[in-house]
């Protein structure tokens, strides 16, 4: 870990830090959604929405999150494989979005990418040697003999044989193909390697081989690396620091062991608790998240995790002990979308369906809830939604939290911490 591991607080500042190879600032990639006869733009999918982080020299940074959280789009946008729609990316202090074509070509040499599926990464009609040498030719080294020497050397470095140059991709297994893909990415001696799910198509035993290879190569070549993965185990194995993404935003960024030991965002907490633990004596530790990841074309207001957050901040003026507001909010959100089950016929059934107690500890809150349940039973879901919305509004849906320093020493974007913590009852704001 570098000595700068704790200074993640100054995000969104002008250019990058001096020792950062890569500085991403408020990166945005919004895709237009078109509909109707004239294909008019009717909205945007905010695949990446204001993401900032650094990758320092020789460091491995991981980005984790579930499918659809924008981690791959972050990778492709920061390499300008897709044009970002906002923000800046500094590579060695220069903004890559302002590169002209010759500068861009130099950047293309210094920043390389490895993709998930090694089976579709190669032209089946080219030999391994030709595939690995191709980037050399593109970047001006056309001397066949020198090409061959370099290719043979790099193949040996990734654990293959120099004689493999004349073989074709189909002769290799998935893990070996991923080694070839790594060889091709490293043949130009890049400074930055972006690896997008480099092992998720491989078996665990092969995963382990590729991960230790990545580790070795990084140390040997002094590479900086950005590793994208949905698998927290993989990230823990190779990364120095980890950023957690949810719905296009970075919600937490911390040195790896700190993130695993002391997660500050409830989403990170839930994600960590969902990894099946390979110890049969510790079963059932998963934090149950309600519902699915929301539609990114219409993300929730405020903190985009609030519809699923088990520790959502309760409304002011009511007393909801021990995260008991979650169930009430579930009911409210369903009332708003008209998704309350029509088949529920009694107040008790509604309460049971949402895991609500027969009576909330706070009498005032229970009065509002009871009235809303009556509305629902009378078929008037709209008034129920209105009643609940007026009474139980949480800071999590009103204000979007920003990535801010927490007491744990690394930043997280959550109202349980930082400026908004006066909204939360003290026992929730603290760290437990």
Partner 1 sequence: MAGPLLSVDDLHTQFDTEEGTVKAVDGVSFDVREGETVCLVGESGSGKTVACESITKLVPRPPGRITGGEVRFDGEDLTELSGKALREYRGGRIGHVFQNPQEALDPVYTVGDQLVEAIRLHRDVPKAAARERAAELLDRVGIGDVSERIDDYPHQFSGGMKQRVVIAMALACDPDLLIADEPTTALDVTIQAQVLRLLNDLQDEHGMAMLFVTHDLGVVAEIADRVVVMYAGKVMETGDVYQVFEDPSHPYTRALLECLPGRGRALDTIGGTLPDPTSPPDGCRFHPRCPHAVPECETDGQPGFRDVGGGHDVSCLLHDDRHDLPRAMEADDD
Residue 156 or residue 316: which is nearer to partner 1 going by CB? 156
Per rule CB under 8 A, is residue 382 in the interface with partner 1? no
Residue 212 or residue 322: which is nearer to partner 1 going by CB? 212
Per rule CB under 8 A, is residue 401 in the interface with partner 1? no
Residue 43 or residue 276: which is nearer to partner 1 going by CB? 276
Binding to partner 1 (CB under 8 A) within 323-342 occurs at 334, 339-342
Residue 101 or residue 205: which is nearer to partner 1 going by CB? 205
| Least spacing, CB of residue 223 vs partner 1, in Å | 18
124 and 165 Cβ atoms separated by less than 8 Å: no
> Which residues pair with residue 27 across a beta bridge?
51
Per rule CB under 8 A, is residue 207 in the interface with partner 1? yes
Tokens of 98: 């302002």
How many residues interact with partner 1 (rule CB under 8 A)? 49
End-to-end C-alpha distance for the chain, whole angstroms:
26
| Least spacing, CB of residue 30 vs partner 1, in Å | 22
Per rule CB under 8 A, is residue 258 in the interface with partner 1? no
| Least spacing, CB of residue 237 vs partner 1, in Å | 4
Cα–Cα dist 179/60, whole Å: 19
Per rule CB under 8 A, is residue 80 in the interface with partner 1? no
Per rule CB under 8 A, is residue 214 in the interface with partner 1? no
Tokens of 28: 């945005």
String of contacts with partner 1 for each residue 217-256, x by CB under 8 A: -------------xxxxxxxx-------------------
* Residues sharing a CB contact under 8 Å with residue 343, sequence separation 6 or more, in sequence order: none
Bridging pattern class, strands 94-95 and 40-56: unpaired
Residue 72 or residue 176: which is nearer to partner 1 going by CB? 176
Residue 159 or residue 425: which is nearer to partner 1 going by CB? 159
List 39, 283, 358, 426, residue binding partner 1 (CB under 8 A): 283
| Least spacing, CB of residue 175 vs partner 1, in Å | 7
List 292, 316, 352, 359, residue binding partner 1 (CB under 8 A): 292
17 and 54 Cβ atoms separated by less than 8 Å: yes
Residue 281 or residue 426: which is nearer to partner 1 going by CB? 281
Choose the stretch contacting partner 1; rule: CB under 8 A; options: 54-62, 93-101, 198-206, 388-396.
Answer: 198-206
Choose the stretch contacting partner 1; rule: CB under 8 A; options: 16-24, 117-125, 132-140, 285-293.
Answer: 285-293
Binding to partner 1 (CB under 8 A) within 151-190 occurs at 173, 175-176
Per rule CB under 8 A, is residue 275 in the interface with partner 1? yes
List 41, 286, 367, 378, residue binding partner 1 (CB under 8 A): 286
Three-state secondary structure along the chain? CCCCCCCCCCCCCCCCCCCEEEEEEEEEEEEEEEECCCCEEEEEEEEEEEEEEEEECCCEEEEECCCCCCHHHHHHHHCCCCCCCEEEEEECCEEHHHCCHHHHHHHHHHEEEECCCHHHCCCCCCCHHHHHHHHHHHCCCCCHHHHHHHHHHHHHHCCCCHHHHHCCHHHCCHHHHHHHHHHHHHCCCCCEEEEECCCCCCCHHHHHHHHHHHHHHHHHHCCEEEEEECCHHHHHHHCCEEEEEECCEEEEEEEHHHHHHCCCCHHHHHHHHHCCCCCCCCCCCCCCCCCCCCCCCCCCCCCCCCCCCCCCCCCCCCCCCCCCHHHHHHHHHHHHHCCCCCCCCCHHHHHHHCCCCCCCCCHHHHHHHHHHHHHHHCCCHHHHHHHHHHHCCCHHHHCCCCCEECCCCCEECCCCCHHHHHHCCHHHHCCC
Residue 210 or residue 413: which is nearer to partner 1 going by CB? 210
281 and 273 Cβ atoms separated by less than 8 Å: no
Per rule CB under 8 A, is residue 274 in the interface with partner 1? yes
Per rule CB under 8 A, is residue 379 in the interface with partner 1? no
List 140, 284, 358, 379, residue binding partner 1 (CB under 8 A): 284
385 and 379 Cβ atoms separated by less than 8 Å: no
List 137, 276, 355, 361, residue binding partner 1 (CB under 8 A): 276
Per rule CB under 8 A, is residue 212 in the interface with partner 1? yes
| Least spacing, CB of residue 74 vs partner 1, in Å | 17
Binding site for partner 1 (CB under 8 A): 66-67, 173, 175-176, 203-209, 211-212, 230-237, 257, 270-271, 273-284, 286-289, 292-293, 334, 339-343
């Amino acid at each position: 870990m570098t000595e700068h591991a704790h200074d993640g607080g100054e995000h969104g500042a002008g250019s990058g830090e001096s020792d950062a190879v890569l500085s991403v600032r408020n990166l945005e990639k919004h895709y237009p959604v078109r509909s109707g006869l004239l294909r008019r733009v009717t909205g945007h999918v905010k695949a990446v929405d204001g993401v900032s982080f650094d990758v320092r020299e020789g460091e491995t940074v991981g980005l984790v999150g579930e499918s659809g959280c924008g981690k791959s789009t972050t990778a492709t946008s920061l390499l300008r494989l897709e044009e970002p729609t906002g923000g800046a990316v500094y590579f060695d202090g220069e903004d890559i979005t302002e590169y002209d074509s010759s500068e861009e070509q130099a950047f293309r040499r210094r920043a390389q990418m490895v993709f998930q599926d090694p089976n579709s990464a190669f032209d089946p009609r080219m030999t391994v040697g030709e595939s690995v040498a191709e980037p050399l030719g593109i970047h001006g080294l056309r001397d066949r003999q020198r090409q061959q020497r370099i290719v043979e050397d790099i193949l040996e470095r990734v654990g293959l044989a120099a004689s493999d140059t004349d073989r074709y991709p189909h002769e290799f297994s998935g893990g070996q193909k991923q080694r070839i893909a790594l060889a091709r990415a490293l043949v130009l001696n890049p400074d930055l390697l972006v690896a997008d799910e480099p092992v998720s198509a491989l078996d665990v035993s092969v995963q382990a081989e590729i991960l230790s290879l990545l580790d070795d190569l990084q140390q040997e070549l002094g590479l900086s690396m950005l590793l994208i993965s949905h698998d927290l185990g993989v990230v823990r194995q190779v990364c120095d620091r980890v950023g957690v993404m949810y719905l296009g935003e970075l919600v937490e960024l911390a040195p790896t062991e700190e993130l695993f030991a002391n997660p500050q965002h409830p989403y990170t907490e839930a994600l960590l608790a969902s990894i099946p633990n390979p110890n049969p004596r510790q079963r059932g530790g998963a934090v149950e998240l309600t519902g699915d990841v929301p539609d990114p074309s219409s993300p929730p207001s405020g903190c985009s995790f609030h519809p699923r957050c088990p520790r959502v901040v309760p409304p002011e003026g009511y007393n909801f002990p021990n995260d008991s507001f979650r169930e009430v909010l579930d009911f409210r959100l369903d009332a708003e979308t008209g998704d309350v089950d029509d088949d529920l016929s009694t107040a008790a059934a509604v309460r049971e369906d949402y895991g609500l107690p027969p009576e909330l500890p706070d009498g005032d809150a229970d009065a509002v809830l009871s009235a809303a349940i009556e509305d629902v039973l009378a078929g008037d879901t709209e008034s129920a939604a209105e009643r609940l919305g007026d009474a139980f509004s949480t800071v999590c849906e009103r204000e979007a939290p920003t990535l801010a320093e927490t007491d744990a020493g690394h930043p997280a974007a959550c109202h349980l911490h930082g400026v908004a913590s006066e909204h939360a009852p003290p026992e929730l704001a603290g760290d437990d």
